[in-house]
DNA sequence: CAGATTAATTGAACGATGTCTAATTTTCTA
DNA sequence: TAGAAAATTAGACATCGTTCAATTAATCTG
């Protein structure tokens, strides 16, 4: 079969992303297959390569979508939240990871070949999520510690990530920890206490 | 070729583990291949399956070896260390992950199929590493807070893991963080300060 | 020591993967 | 309307994990 006019380039791209994200969320990164996505949208594997160029590029696009969903989820949770916004953000972190388990895990299971770096677009998405945390931390830091908001946000993101990661991969269960979210909140509180936040 | 007397069962197992760990450390989890290991030891792929039963079992054994190396590395670093032992442990965490980059990453990239859980042997190895941290934290906690040593150790392990993970996977670089180790140490110090450690 | 039994080892087969490319077909352009 | 450009396909390729019948060497047995 040759050229078709079923979908424009952008429609096709969106179609593949929709179906791809659906499958990734269902089967997880390890079992994810570009061929299967092609089947799902009724095109051949070659078309996936025409649109995305490579398997890696497809996965980067799918992970980008996950980041978009994550940011939206985070902002929505914070939208009607007056007090305890930072705790709410941590809860949102956990809830998204648990709810979108496979998609979230794929963010970290998938790695570009050594030397390669993600697109500016992708980096911006990561920075956007970080930006939310920077904002929330700045809001609770005293005036004299505002300069610490960015480095602190990066560090606390890493801490929360570690807790969330151990919760999902079974490490915490193996060690008898039954309240990963509580532990994560406590560590964030520890750090903020030192900067006189409140 | 039929039965050979080149190696006993245990020698063969050790041979495969040696070569497997060498290759895993060299090429990383994504490019690791059981067939290639078979080539490396001069046996056929079938023999790998006779000895280990499955690809998953082989990888679990290889990750087990990484955990052994990690524990030994950690203890050796702490051996001649009088003060600042906890900071030394965090440094050791980072140094091992950086030095054994591929092997360390494989600990978390590889996942058992859903529902399956690692062997008791594997769980013990993870618990052993945790045990070292519990011990070191207990040593700096005041008498009244000893009960917190275990939960705190689990939580601080997660925090340090998050920092190490972000350092290795490029997230920190992407966010402009240039001292992940320093940040990890600071978060641990924050937590200990709250418990009156010193 | 000879023959039978057991155990280990092999390599081909299978279905699946990502990747590439020649051929085909449609659409656009001059 | 003829030719150029773009899109789509299907098959080929090398690789992967997995299985298994056949083969061969070591061991046991009488």
On whether both A22 and A104 belong to a single domain, the answer is no
Put simply, the answer to whether A191 touches B194 (Cβ < 8 Å) is: no
Does the structure show a pLDDT above 70 at A139? yes
CA distances from B27 to A92, B20, B96, B106, B147 (A): 36, 11, 17, 11, 43
Chain B window 31-70: which residues touch A at a Cβ cutoff of 8 Å? none
Q: Write the pLDDT tens digit of every residue in A55-67.
A: 999 999 999 999 9
Q: Write the pLDDT tens digit of every residue in A171-191.
A: 999 999 999 999 999 999 999
CATH number of the domain within which B172 lies: 1.10.357
Q: Is residue B14 part of a domain?
A: yes
CATH number of the domain within which A16 lies: 1.10.10.60
- Look up the domain containing A33 and give its range: 8-53
Distance from CA of B44 to the nearest CA of A (A): 26
Task: Using a CB–CB cutoff of 8 Å, tell me whether B162 touches chain A.
Answer: yes
Q: Look at residues A135, A142, A170 and name the one whose alpha carbon lies nearest to residue A156.
A: A135
Per the model's pLDDT, the better-predicted residue between B3 and B156 turns out to be B156
For chains A and B, count residue pairs whose Cβ atoms are closer than 8 Å: 126
Q: Is residue A60 part of a domain?
A: no
On whether both A74 and A141 belong to a single domain, the answer is yes
**Distance between CA atoms of residues B127 and A61, nearest Å:** 38
Task: Using a CB–CB cutoff of 8 Å, tell me whether B191 touches chain A.
Answer: yes
On whether both A101 and A189 belong to a single domain, the answer is yes
On whether both A102 and A152 belong to a single domain, the answer is yes
Q: Write the pLDDT tens digit of every residue in B51-105.
A: 999 999 999 999 999 999 999 999 999 998 999 999 999 999 999 999 999 999 9
On whether both B82 and B13 belong to a single domain, the answer is no
Instruction: For residue B26, give the 3-state DSSP assignment.
Output: helix
- A166 Cβ partners below 8 Å, 6+ apart? A172, A177, A180, B154, B157, B158, B161
Out of B180, B184, B193, name the one closest to residue A194 (CB): B193
On whether both A74 and A108 belong to a single domain, the answer is yes
Q: How far: A59 CA to C23 C1' (Å)?
A: 29
Task: Using a CB–CB cutoff of 8 Å, tell me whether B195 touches chain A.
Answer: no
What pLDDT, on a 0 to 100 scale, did the predictor assign at position A43? 96
Q: Is residue B172 part of a domain?
A: yes
């Amino acid at each position: 079969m040759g050229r078709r006019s079923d979908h424009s380039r952008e429609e096709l791209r969106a179609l593949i992303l929709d179906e791809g994200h659906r499958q990734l969320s269902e089967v997880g990164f390890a079992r994810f297959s570009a061929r299967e996505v092609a089947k799902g949208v009724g095109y051949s594997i070659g078309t996936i390569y025409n649109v995305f160029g490579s398997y890696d590029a497809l996965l980067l696009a799918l992970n980008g979508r996950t980041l978009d969903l994550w940011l939206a989820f985070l902002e929505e949770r914070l939208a009607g939240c007056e007090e305890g916004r930072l705790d709410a953000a941590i809860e949102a972190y956990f809830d998204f990871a648990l709810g979108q388990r496979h998609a979230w895990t794929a963010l970290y299971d998938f790695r570009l070949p050594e030397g390669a770096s993600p697109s500016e677009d992708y980096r911006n998405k990561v920075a956007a999520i970080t930006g939310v945390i920077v904002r929330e931390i700045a809001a609770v830091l005293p005036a004299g510690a505002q300069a610490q908001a960015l480095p602190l946000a990066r560090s606390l993101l890493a801490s929360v990530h570690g807790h969330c990661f151990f919760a999902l991969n079974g490490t915490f269960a193996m060690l008898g920890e039954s309240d990963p979210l509580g532990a994560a909140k406590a560590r964030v509180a520890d750090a903020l206490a030192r900067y006189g936040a409140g």
